[in-house]
C-alpha cells in the first residue's frame, strides 16, 4: 500500500493554527518533534505513519473535534501552565492533547472558548476577513454613554500595533453594562477600547462567536459540537 506523504510545513498548516510560513520559526525554535526528534527542515517529508508533535501535542490525522467551553474566572486560556488551571484541565476527552484554543480570553474573562484539533477551521474563523462577530457583555466602573457608540463605530487607534480598530457595534444595556460586538481580536481589545474613555472593565463575558453561543452551558461546562 502506498503511504501518503506531505511536506512538514504543509502538514503543520493543515493540523494547527500555524501557517506554512510560520513553520520556519517553529522548526528553528525546535517546537516540532517528528518521531521523537526535533524537525530539521520545513521541507522534510511526513508520512501517515510518522508521529508529529507541536509544543508537546500530537498532530495526528484523527477525527476533527470541536469543543465549546464556558470558561470560569481565574482559568488560563492555554493548554499548559505551571501555576494555574488551564482550559484544557477542564476538559475530559481522549484526544484532548491534540486540541488548541481558538481565540484566547484573559485570566478573569469568562465565557465562550473554542477548542479544536482542526487547524484549517480555526484559521478560517480567526481571519479578520471572515468578519465573524464576537459578542461580549461588559460591566464597567463608570456609566457608559451614547458617545461610546459613535467612537467604537469609527474605530480607536491602537498605537502599539499602529492600527485603528474595525467598526464595532455597542449596545447600552444599562448605566454600567453594555454589549459589544467585534469582528477582530486584538490583545486586550475590549479593555483597551473602554480604556480610551478611562472606563475600567470590571467584568467581561464572551457570549458568542458567530452563531456559536455559550448559552445553556454552566460556568466550567463544555460540550462537543459539529460544524456541518
Residues designated catalytic: 106
> C-alpha distances in angstroms, 152 versus 14, 121, 146, 186, 193?
35, 29, 10, 14, 8
> 14 or 219: whose CB is closer to ligand URA?
219
Closest CA to 72 of 113, 114, 116: 113
**Is the CB of residue 181 less than 8 Å from the CB of residue 210?**
no
d(CA 68, CA 195): 29
From start to end of the chain, where are the E strands?
5-7, 32-34, 37-38, 45-47, 52-54, 57-58, 66-71, 100-102, 110-116, 134-140, 157-158, 163-164, 169-174, 177-182, 201-209, 212-213, 222-224
> 16 or 189: whose CB is closer to ligand URA?
189
CB of 168 to ligand URA, least distance (A): 11
CB of 79 to ligand URA, least distance (A): 17
Q: Do strands 201-209 and 110-116 pair parallel, antiparallel, or not at all (unpaired)?
A: parallel
CB of 92 to ligand URA, least distance (A): 24
Local structure of residue 82 (DSSP, 8 states): S
Residues within the interface to ligand URA (CB under 6 A): 105-106, 109, 188-191, 204
CB of 195 to ligand URA, least distance (A): 9
> 75 or 190: whose CB is closer to ligand URA?
190
CB of 132 to ligand URA, least distance (A): 14
**Is the CB of residue 32 less than 8 Å from the CB of residue 10?**
no
> 168 or 204: whose CB is closer to ligand URA?
204
Phi, psi values for residue 223, rounded to 5°:
-150, 155
> 51 or 188: whose CB is closer to ligand URA?
188
Amino acid at each position: 500500500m502506498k503511504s501518503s506523504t506531505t511536506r512538514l510545513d504543509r502538514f503543520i498548516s493543515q493540523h494547527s493554527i500555524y501557517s506554512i510560513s510560520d513553520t520556519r520559526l517553529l522548526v528553528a525554535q525546535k517546537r516540532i518533534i517528528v518521531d521523537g526528534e526535533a524537525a530539521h527542515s520545513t521541507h522534510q517529508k511526513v508520512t501517515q505513519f510518522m508521529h508529529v508533535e507541536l509544543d508537546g501535542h500530537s498532530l495526528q490525522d484523527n477525527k476533527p473535534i470541536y469543543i465549546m467551553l464556558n470558561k470560569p474566572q481565574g482559568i488560563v486560556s492555554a493548554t499548559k501552565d505551571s501555576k494555574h488551571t488551564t482550559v484544557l484541565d477542564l476538559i475530559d476527552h481522549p484526544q484532548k492533547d491534540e486540541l488548541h484554543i481558538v481565540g484566547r480570553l484573559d485570566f478573569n474573562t469568562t465565557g465562550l472558548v473554542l477548542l479544536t484539533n482542526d487547524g484549517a477551521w480555526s484559521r478560517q474563523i480567526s481571519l479578520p476577513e471572515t468578519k465573524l462577530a464576537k459578542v461580549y457583555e461588559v460591566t464597567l466602573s463608570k456609566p457608559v454613554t451614547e458617545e461610546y457608540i459613535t467612537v467604537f463605530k469609527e474605530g480607536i487607534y491602537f498605537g502599539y500595533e499602529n492600527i485603528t480598530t474595525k467598526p464595532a457595534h455597542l449596545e447600552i444595556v444599562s448605566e454600567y453594562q453594555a454589549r459589544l460586538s467585534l469582528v477582530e481580536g486584538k490583545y486586550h481589545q475590549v479593555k483597551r477600547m473602554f480604556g480610551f474613555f478611562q472606563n475600567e472593565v470590571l467584568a467581561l463575558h464572551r457570549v458568542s462567536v458567530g452563531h456559536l453561543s455559550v448559552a445553556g452551558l454552566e460556568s466550567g461546562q463544555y460540550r462537543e459540537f459539529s460544524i456541518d
